[in-house]
Amino acid sequence: MLFLWRAVVGKKIAMAVTGAIMIAFLIGHVAGNLLVFRGAVALDAWSAFLKHNAGVLWAVRAVLFVSVVLHVVAAVQVTLLDRKARPQAYARIQPQAATVASRTMRIGGLLIACFIVVHLMHLTTGTIRPAPFQEARVYDNVVGGFHIWWVALIYVVAMIVIGLHLVHGAWSWLRTLGLSRPKAEPLQRPIAAALAIVIWAGFTAIPLAILFGLVR
């Protein structure tokens, strides 16, 4: 494995695999979160169910933690390498094919990393408490937090960044792993974009709905 990690392509492969794991997590995460629309009982039950299976929960958390670390470390290393590979910038550059999504992967990744920290401190550990925080009262914590406009705004903005990150990431991980086939290529970008939109829409709907009083 170390052999893989030593090559630049290997680092990218690590990023692709960990990225895919995080995408899978996000799909599960958004599905769970949407239970908020079914009321406090449903969401709290889901939370209780997860807590009840502590072994699985901690295994998932461990995998995610390792994924995030690998993803970030690889990203930092690759970014530094790329800086070294192009030490002098062009006086003028007109991108021909790069998308907003592909060009914001790095800054987006940095913002997402910051957001994850904030998010965990807000809703998992309760370290940051813009509103009263109660252990095991997920629904109340969420609704309480998102009633505050600037909390909702942070989440809405963060979801745009995550969505954008996914537009490129959900497409390119298959290519980095060499799994993409030319025949399927015309579908891959739209599928990745659709996935990004679904995840973005699901996550964004919650703070907005709460902020505008659709969920109370």
Partner 1 sequence: MKLVLRVWRQKERGAPGAFSRYEAPDASPDMSFLELLDVINEHLIVSGEQPIAFDHDCREGICGSCGMMIDGVAHGPMKATATCQLHLRHFRDGDEIQVEPWRAAAFPVIKDLVVDRGALDHIIAAGGFVTAQTGSAPDGNAILVPKRAAEEAMDAAACIGCGACIAACPNGSASLFTAAKISHLGLLPQGQPERARRVVAMVAQMDREGFGNCSWHGECEAACPKSISIDTIVRMNRDWLAACIMPKEKSRSEEGG
**Residue with smaller CB distance to partner 1, 19 or 144:** 19
> Do 163 and 200 meet the contact criterion of CB atoms below 8 Å apart?
yes
Q: Is 84 in the site for partner 1 (CB under 8 A)?
A: yes
Segment 155 to 194, residues that bind partner 1, using CB under 8 A: 168, 171-172, 175-180, 182, 185
Name the minimum Å distance from CB 190 to partner 1: 16
Mark the segment that binds partner 1 (CB under 8 A) among 6-14, 20-28, 55-63, 115-123.
6-14
**Residue with smaller CB distance to partner 1, 139 or 173:** 173
Q: Is 125 in the site for partner 1 (CB under 8 A)?
A: no
Q: Is 92 in the site for partner 1 (CB under 8 A)?
A: yes
**Residue with smaller CB distance to partner 1, 47 or 180:** 180
Name the minimum Å distance from CB 116 to partner 1: 21
Q: Is 213 in the site for partner 1 (CB under 8 A)?
A: no
DSSP readout, the chain?
Answer: -HHHHHSHHHHHHHHHHHHHHHHHHHHHHHHHHGGGGG-HHHHHHHHHHHHHSHHHHHHHHHHHHHHHHHHHHHHHHHHHHHHHHS-S--SS---SS--HHHHTHHHHHHHHHHHHHHHIIIIIS--S-SS---TT-HHHHHHHHHTSHHHHHHHHHHHHHHHHHHHHHHHHHHHHTT---GGGHHHHHHHHHHHHHHHHHHHHHHHHHHHTTS--
Q: Is 78 in the site for partner 1 (CB under 8 A)?
A: yes
Q: Is 64 in the site for partner 1 (CB under 8 A)?
A: no
**Residue with smaller CB distance to partner 1, 47 or 79:** 79
> Do 102 and 165 meet the contact criterion of CB atoms below 8 Å apart?
no
Tell me which residues touch partner 1 (CB under 8 A). 3-4, 7-13, 78, 81-82, 84-99, 102-103, 105, 168, 171-172, 175-180, 182, 185
